Amino acid sequence: MPDPKFTKPWHGVPRAEIHWNPTILEDFCIGCGTCVTGCSRLVYRFDFDRKKPVVVDPLNCMVGCTTCANTCPANAIVFPPLDSVLALEGRAEVRQAVEDDLLARHDILASPLQVPHPDRIITLAVAEKTVLTRDVLRLVLVPVQLGACFCEFVPGQYIELWQPGSDHLSRSYSIANAPDGSGRIELHLRRVAGGRFTGWAFDAMQVGDTLRARGPLGAFTMRSASDVPLLFVAGGTGFAPVHALVEQQTRFQPSRDMVLVWGMRAADQFYALDELAALAATAPGLWIVLAAEEGTRVELPDRITQVAGTVVNALADPALVEGRDIYAAGPPMLLRALTADLARRGIDRARLNIDSFGV
């Protein structure tokens, strides 16, 4: 019998709509019974005559669990591809149901073994809110109290912001500028369809609003020797931390051999090209490539070129990659594709520094 304890909706999705349960490959099965006794959800019963397990209550199976397959000595249990579960987790309502559950049970689920953070929580005010393109917003945040600032952050780091009115609902955003001592923080936010924080930031946030912020966080910072050529790779708003790193380099080592490859799906999504042009103008060693899968920009400043395709396509020329330390930021899918491509080309993984905007 399906047990209501196990078949309740999975993060809001009715269990019956999710295809997740084991299938026994009888030809492989040696009838040891490990799966039957090992599954606490009574998915299996045992056919004692045939000496084979039988899946009697597939909906009792915990979504994403593969314990029985992992412990089957004969490799006789298979599951649907995990992609089907990952696709569910990518849906806004599922992600937000997980988040609601986590926050609602904060008292129970908060770890007693919290690692002390060397960072601080302060209040920042929204000084500027500029819509750069249809789906990218630039925010400038400034300290509210004298002395309570992130004046000492290192380019490439990020901060965590709390949505006003919530103790626990927070999101991370990379700082797009290099520090100038004033505590001014620039962020680039990409609108995420159905997104809680970005929905609020785009539609309701006002200049003058104050936000709790924690930081500075993260280790996506410059760690290369000063004579090593660099490659920066950005996908979408992964441009933010990369911009901070490039700004730092152009300030202190403008002649350094640097390549920046920035990818967007469509050519009209690139933003802040005036800032890029200013960087290129002050740094003779900097070469910039924009990679767009659709469309072309007609006019581009000097030393900025555009190629068709993804950033991985744009990096086909070995001169852009080999002998360089690599700093790459953006969505996990792009970073996975980049990492796989570099591994295939024999580039040492130790040369690659990654800042994943993964969720």
15 binds, among ligand FAD, ligand SF4, none (CB under 5 to 8 A by kind): none
Residue 188 is a binding residue for ligand FAD (CB under 6 A): yes
Q: Residue 230 in 3-state DSSP?
A: strand
| Site residue total, ligand FAD (CB under 6 A) | 26
Residue 63 is a binding residue for ligand SF4 (CB under 6 A): no
Residue 67 is a binding residue for ligand SF4 (CB under 6 A): yes
Candidates 10, 153, 197, 287: give the one binding ligand FAD (CB under 6 A). 197
Candidates 18, 43, 291, 352: give the one binding ligand SF4 (CB under 6 A). 43
CB of 216 to ligand FAD, least distance (A): 11
The token duo for 183 is 């505590």
- Per-residue binding string, ligand FAD, 234-273, x by CB under 6 A, is ---x--x---------------------------------
- The neighbour count for residue 260, using CB atoms within 10 Å, is 26
Residue 308 Cα to chain centre, angstroms: 24
200-230 burial string, b = 16+ CB within 10 Å, else e?
ebbeebeeeeebbbbbbbbebbbebeeeeeb
348 Cβ contact list (under 8 Å, min separation 6)? none
Residue 18 is a binding residue for ligand SF4 (CB under 6 A): no
Residue 85 is a binding residue for ligand SF4 (CB under 6 A): no
- The neighbour count for residue 293, using CB atoms within 10 Å, is 13
- Per-residue binding string, ligand FAD, 306-335, x by CB under 6 A, is -------------------------x----
Give 38 or 164: the residue with its C-beta nearer to ligand SF4.
38
- Per-residue binding string, ligand SF4, 203-222, x by CB under 6 A, is --------------------
Residue 221 is a binding residue for ligand FAD (CB under 6 A): no
Q: Are 159 and 172 in contact (CB under 8 A)?
A: yes
Give 32 or 148: the residue with its C-beta nearer to ligand SF4.
32
- CA-CA distances (angstroms) from residue 323 to 56, 330, 352? 58, 22, 11
CB of 264 to ligand SF4, least distance (A): 40
Give 271 or 287: the residue with its C-beta nearer to ligand FAD.
271
Q: Residue 137 in 3-state DSSP?
A: strand
- How open is the CA angle 26-84-74, to the nearest 5 degrees? 25
**How far is 350 from 94, CA to CA, in rounded Å?**
35
86, 57, 13, 356 alpha-carbon torsion, rounded to 10°: -20
Q: Are 218 and 250 in contact (CB under 8 A)?
A: no
Q: Are 311 and 339 in contact (CB under 8 A)?
A: no
Candidates 10, 15, 77, 310: give the one binding ligand SF4 (CB under 6 A). 77
Q: Are 139 and 203 in contact (CB under 8 A)?
A: no
CB of 76 to ligand SF4, least distance (A): 4
CB of 179 to ligand FAD, least distance (A): 16
* Bridge partners of residue 262, in order along the sequence: 234, 290
For binding to ligand FAD (CB under 6 A), which residues are involved? 90-92, 95-96, 158, 171-174, 188-190, 192, 194-199, 218, 237, 240, 331, 357, 359
Which residues are near ligand SF4 by CB under 6 A? Answer: 22, 24, 29-35, 38-39, 41, 43, 53, 61-62, 65-68, 72-74, 76-77
